[in-house]
Amino acid sequence: MSNIDLSKVVVKRLQKLNKTLSVAESITAGGIANQITQVPGASKVFIGGVISYSDESKVSQLAISKADIKKFTSVSEQVAIEMAKSVRKKFKTDIAISTTGVAGPGKAYGQKAGTVWIGISTQKESFAVSLLLSGDREMIRHATITSALAALERILKP
């Protein structure tokens, strides 16, 4: 399924469930929001998001603890979960998704390119999924967007 097809399914399911979505994007730099908002009617369910590409913006815009970034790094399960929780609270949405990772080339935060975390937060639970992707920078970012949309599609299944 293409990203636009996944986005259509996500938007329709959010509408059917009367749920709202927000995003906190680092590695994807707004790619998820871009895909979702290409769907007609997305404005009924997509509230907004934060692109927090730097550690500083994760702290200032999403209230991620400097101590957690120092202890776990920005590319971690803990930070992905906190990003999703924070953006869900910030925009008062039912569901939030976050992305953080290393697109490359080369390592960052001691992690090799392709190391990705997707955080999901709902009113009932928050968790993260890890990915180890391969390819160049564009391929890794695209695969992260696809994986995030697929994760949303799965958790919104009736």
pLDDT tens digit string along 57-116? 999 999 999 999 999 999 999 999 999 999 999 999 999 999 999 999 999 999 999 999
The CATH label, of 3.30.360.10, 3.20.20.80, 3.90.950.20, 3.40.640.10, for the domain at 3-155 is 3.90.950.20
Q: How big, in percent rounded to 5, are the helix, strand and coil portions of the chain?
A: 45, 20, 30
pTM: 0.97
DSSP SS3 for 143:
helix
Q: What is the pLDDT of residue 60?
A: 98
